[in-house]
Amino acid sequence: MRILVLGGDGYLGWPTALHLSRRGHDVGVVDNFARRQYDFEMGVDSLVPIARLQRRVRVWEEVSGLQVEPFIGDLTDPTFVSRVLVEFRPEAIVHFAEQRSAPYSMIDQKHAVYTQVNNVVGTLNLLYAIADVDPSIHLVKLGTMGEYGTPNIDIEEGFIEITHRGRTDVMPYPKQPGSFYHLSKVHDSHNIMFACRIWGLRSTDLNQGIVYGQETPETKLHPDLATRFDYDGVFGTVLNRFAVQAVVGHPLTVYGTGGQTRGMLDIRDTLACVELACLNAPAEGEYRVFNQFTESFTVAQLAQMVVDAYPGRVDIDYLDDPRVEKEEHYYRAAHTKLLDLGLVPHLLNQVTISSLLAVADRNRERVDPAAIRPTVHWRSTASTLPTAGSAPGTGRDLASEASTDS
């Protein structure tokens, strides 16, 4: 297939592009380097050094003999979006190109507004471009399990059958997002579902759990093919963060009681799920939802697994929760549709955690201890952060400044 990966320079977008390319698909990647700009703004780098996109593309061709076609631009520019679709003519579009951090969206008003404008407007421009250029394009959109929140009933895959006063209907599952970032994903879901209904588009919404891991078969082929590894309190996901904390001797930062339960999946399973979605397109006008995770754990369970896997001593520090969330709750979510399509998951075990610890240990000299602890508090309208650059949307060319090799 011809598959366009939006956000193809990012943590998941880059390894997804390589995986799809190696699987025989013609792949294009779109990025505006905003994720690298956030590093510049925060004064924090990826734990694992990452090469410039242009260097990555060249090395991939040298190593594999395959090409990935880059397009540099911003989804909030509708002219750029339409031009890329006309030039590349994708059959499927994988959409990772959004600000993905809940804490980042909760720093202050500016970051909340930026997150929603960037995410919602970019997706709206994409929907209009698909409708105008080729309505048969299959949009595979990366959503989040965080859209659902933590209801006291089972979470279904996107839709729920409701009986009310003797009448029954299938309705979108109620959403209880926990941040302005998660709210932007809910807005995306509503806009995409609406576009499918009125324009006959086809889309798969992948409500993804928390991803862990940094290495894939493709990124391991050359150091310059590596994807990023975030460990800080703003962008670092929980298991990756715990691995780095263990290696540098910092207590594992568990928020509250640690009873928060979340769906989790290995980075390699993200790649497999995306390809399965691309290869099994919905019907014209169909909007469908897959819950993309393989297992559920509490934060406390994850911390204990890291303690058990690390050969040295590891302490756990239970912090006052900076977020507004239930620290103990019911959590049972359906996730069968991707398994039905053939997903064979990599389940979390001590071997997987040991590999994460090994990545952290090889790069331990790059850890900035000041970046580890949480600095964003949900109940505050303005958090204090170390800032090395301008805030988002200032117009300064931070993308080019931040895109050099780390």
Contact 8, 31 (CB under 8 A): yes
Element housing 319 (H / E) = strand 316-319
Q: Are strands 261-266 and 210-212 parallel, antiparallel or unpaired?
A: parallel
Q: Which two tokens stand for residue 154?
A: 């089972």
Which one of the listed residues 38, 148, 173, 181 is annotated catalytic?
181
Of 144, 237, 261, 352, the catalytic one is 144
Concerning whether 336 is annotated as a catalytic residue, the answer is no
**Whether 17 contacts 27, CB under 8 Å:** yes
115 included as an active-site residue: no
Phi and psi (nearest 5°) for 42? -85, -15
Query: Which pLDDT value is given to residue 386?
Result: 54
Gap between the Cα atoms of 10 and 315, Å rounded: 31
CB 28 within 8 A of CB 54: no
Q: Quote the Cα angle for 88-92-93, to 5°.
A: 80
Q: Which domains does the chain have, with CATH numbers?
A: 2-373 (3.40.50.720)
Give the whole-angstrom CA distance, residue 356 versus residue 335.
25
pLDDT, position 385: 63
Q: Residue 185 catalytic?
A: yes
Using DSSP, state whether 290 is helix, strand or coil: strand
Among all chains, which residue has been given the structure tokens 């303690």?
Answer: 307
Strands 202-208 and 287-292 turn out to be: parallel
Average per-residue pLDDT in the chain? 94
Taking the C-alpha atoms of 251, 257, 261 and 262 in order, what is their torsion angle to the nearest 10 degrees?
-40
Pairing of strands 167-172, 159-164: antiparallel
Residue 162 identity: I
**Coil, strand or helix: which one is 236?**
coil
Q: Which of 243, 241, 221 is nearest to 233 (CA)?
A: 241
**Residue 382: predicted pLDDT:** 84
Pairing mode of beta strands 295-298, 261-266 = antiparallel
Backbone angles phi, psi at 292, to 5 degrees: -100, 85
Q: Which of 115, 123, 141, 185 is catalytic?
A: 185
Which parts of the chain register pLDDT below 70?
384-406
**pLDDT tens-digit series, residues 132-181:** 999 999 999 999 999 999 999 999 999 999 999 999 999 999 999 999 99
- Residue 97: what residue type? A
Q: What is the pTM of this model?
A: 0.94
Instruction: Kindly tell me the sign of the dihedral angle through the C-alpha atoms of 56, 32, 71, 192.
Output: positive
| Residue 106 near residue 112 (C-beta atoms within 8 A) | yes
- Helix crossing, 78-88 with 122-133: angle to 10°? 40
